[in-house]
Chains A and B, each alone.
Chain A
Amino acid sequence: MPNKIKVTIKLFAQYREGKFKIDKRSYENNSTIKDVLDDIGLDLGKYPIGVLMVNGRHVKEDFALEDGQILAIFPKVGGG
C-alpha cells in the first residue's frame, strides 16, 4: 500500500484570496482535514470554517481522507 494519498482541494469565497481555486496535493496516509487545513494555512481567525464537504457530503475536521477524494472548503456563506 502506498503511504501517500492524493487529494483534490477546492477553496471558495474569501479563502481563494492569495491561495488557489483548485489544487491537487499529497498527504500521508490517514491524514485528516485538520492536517490539510494546517498545510494550506487559511486565515481561519478572520474567516472561520463554514462548511467542509468530501465528495459532496458534509463532514467534520477530524474526517480521515482517502486517496482520490475531493475536499471542498467554504467559509461561512449564505444567501437566498
Chain B
Amino acid sequence: MADKVYRVNMSNLSYKIEEVPAHWMGLGGRGLTSTVIAEEVDPECHPLGPNNKMVFAPGLLSGTTAANSGRNSLGTKSPLTGGIKESNVGGTMAGIMAKLGVKALIIEGIPEDDSTFYHIHITKDNVMIEAVPELVGKDNFFVLDAMEEKYNKKVAVMTIGRPGEMKMLISNISVRDPKGKLRSHGRGGVGAVMGSKKIKCITVDAENYKEVTYAAPEKFKEASKIFTKALQENPISGEGLPAFGTNVLVNIINEAGGLPSHNFRSGSSENAEAICGETMAENIKERHGSTTHGCHAGCVIQCSQTYNDKDGNYLTSGFEYEMIWAFGANFGISDLDQIAKIDALMYDLGVDAIETGVTFGVAVDAGLIEFGDGLRAFEILEKEVANGTPLGRIIGGAAGNLGKLYGLVRVPVVKNQSIPAYEPRAIKGQGITYVTTPMGADHTAGYAVATNILNSGGHIDPLQKEGQVELSRNLQIASAAVDSTGMCIFVAFPALDDPKCLPALIDMINARFGINLTADDVTNLGANILKTEHEFNIKAGLTSATDRVPEFMKYETLPPTNAIWDFTNEEIDEFWNF
C-alpha cells in the first residue's frame, strides 16, 4: 500500500486520507514539512490563528532498520520568530508513522467551540477526533499514562502540557520515547501552535502497522551495515557520546571561551567543572544510573542517559548539554542535581530548555530572580508558569519579550529566538548560522562548532571571520538534507570525517525507494529546502535586517577572549548567494 497524506481539519473536526501528490513523493522530514508550509500557509498569517498549519513528517528512512533514522519533523509558522519552523525529534513517533504509511500528517483550522481540548488518534484507515476534558490542565506524564492505559505500552504519543495549552512561547510538543520518557519538538513555541488548535495529544496506532518495504533489500542491508559501522567506529559517536552524553561539551566550549555565562556577559563559567559531562558521568556511575539510553529504537549512539539522585532514585533522562549550560552557566546554578530536578519538571510541563533557560538569564537582569537561585526557578516554573499567573506569563513569553517589557538591551535572541549554548562572538561560524538560518538562533541548523572548536571536518579558527560564511552555508545545506532523511544530527560527526558514511546514507535511500540519487542531488535538495524556507521568511517580513546578532554583541567585548561581533552586513548577506 502506498503512503498517504492524513489531513485533519480542526475547524469542523473532520479528516481526509489523500494520495501523495507526485511532487511530494521524493520528500520526507524537513524537505516535506517546509515544502507543505511554503505551499499551503500564508506567510503573513497569524501563527496562532486559523490559517496556520502543522505538518508532521517522518524522515525518508524512518521506519527502516537504518541506525538512528527515527527522527520526526514538524513544520509550522513559529509564533516566536514569525518565520517558518522545522523542529525534529526522536521518540517512537517517526518509525510508527512510517510503518503505518503516514507520509505526512497535516493539521489545519481551529475549532469553533474552544471550550475544550481534543485527542487525535490515527489508525491505518481512520482518524478519531475526540474531546478530552479529563486531560485539560494536566501535564505530559499524566497524558502519557492515560494513553498507555487506553491503548497499550507501544502507542506513539505526542502531547502538550499546561504551558502549551496556554499558548506560551516557551512551550514544546513532547514525544514518547521507547522507555516511556519524553523528548521534545523544541524551539519556536511549537507547543503554542498545538494549543491554538486545541489539540492536547496525538496518538498513532502501533499494533496494526506493516514493516516498511525495500526496493532493493540486499543493497539496503549492505549499505546499512557500512553506515552503522561508520557510526560505531567514529570516536565521537562511538565513544564520547555514549560515555559522557552531549554534556561533554561544557569543558571544551568553556576552555575556548565560548560558553555563554551570566546572561552572555562572559564566555567562561566558574561552574564548568561542577556541571560538566565528566562530573555527570561520575555521578551516574556512583548512583547506578546509566550513561546510555536511545531516544528511539534504532539508535546505536545512545547519547541519552538515566540520571539518579544521591540516593539512587530516578531524577531525569535526556539530560542535555543545552539544558545544563542554560541553567548552569548562563543562569548560574552550580548543583547538577538541582538542574536535573528542573529538567524533569520541564519535561513534564513541556517547555523548551534553551528558551526557558535563557529567559531566566534575562530575568536576572530584570530583577525578577537572583542569579543561580535554582529553588526559586523551580518554584516559578511549578507554580507561576504552570498556572499561567502574570509572572508565569512573563517568563512563558520568552526572553525577547521579557527584555522588551523590562527595557533591557542585553537580550540574546536572533529573530526573537534565544541564542543557544555557543557564544557567537567567540565561535563566529556558529554565529553566522544563528543569524542566517531561517529558524532563528538555532545551533542544529548548521553546527559550525564542529569545525570551529571540535576539529571535526578540519579546523577553522573560531575567532577569525575568514571562511565562516562558507562553512556555515555548507553545513546548513547538508543539515537540511540530513533533516529530511530522519537521521539524528549526530551522524554529522562520522559524516564530516569518514568518507564512507554519507555515500552509505545515500545508498540506503536509493535501495529503499529504488531511485538513483547522487551526492549532488542530495546537496541540491538541501539547498532547495533552505531557499524555500528563506523565501517564506522574506514574505513573512523576516528580511535580511533580521539576519543580525543583538546589537550589544557588536560593541561589548566578551571575556576571556575579548572577542566582538565584527561581521559587516554585506559579509553576512553573502550567505544567500548560492
Q: Give me the interface of A with B, judged by CB distance under 8 Å.
A: 10, 12-14, 16, 21, 47-48, 50-51, 53, 56-58, 72, 74-80
Contact = CB atoms under 8 A, between A and B. Distances in A.
B490 A50 contact: no
A13 B279 CA distance: 10
Chain B CB within 10 A, most for which of A21, A72, A74: A74
B391 interface: no
Given A10-B255, A56-B560, A72-B255, A79 B235 contact: no
Contacts of B449: 80
A74 B444 CA distance: 23
A50 B278 contact: no
Nearest to A72: B255
B430 to A, nearest CB: 11
B321 interface: yes
Contacts of A21: 273, 278
Interface in B248-293: 248-249, 251-252, 255-257, 273, 277-278
A80 B444 contact: yes
Given A14-B243, A56-B561, A58-B455, A77 B278 contact: no
B304 to A, nearest CB: 12
B235 A47 contact: yes
Interface of B: 234-237, 239-241, 243-249, 251-252, 255-257, 273, 277-278, 303, 321, 443-444, 447, 449-450, 453-456, 459, 461-463, 489-490, 492-493, 560-561
Contact of A12 (B237, B252, B455, B456): B252
A5 B217 CA distance: 62
Contact of B453 (A51, A75, A76): A51
A75 B251 CA distance: 12
A80 B455 contact: no
The 6 closest A-B pairs by CB, nearest first: A79-B246, A76-B235, A78-B236, A79-B249, A77-B240, A77-B248
Given A14-B243, A77-B249, A56 B255 contact: yes
Contact of A76 (B236, B245, B256, B459): B236
Contacts of B237: 78
A16 B493 CA distance: 23
A76 B240 contact: yes
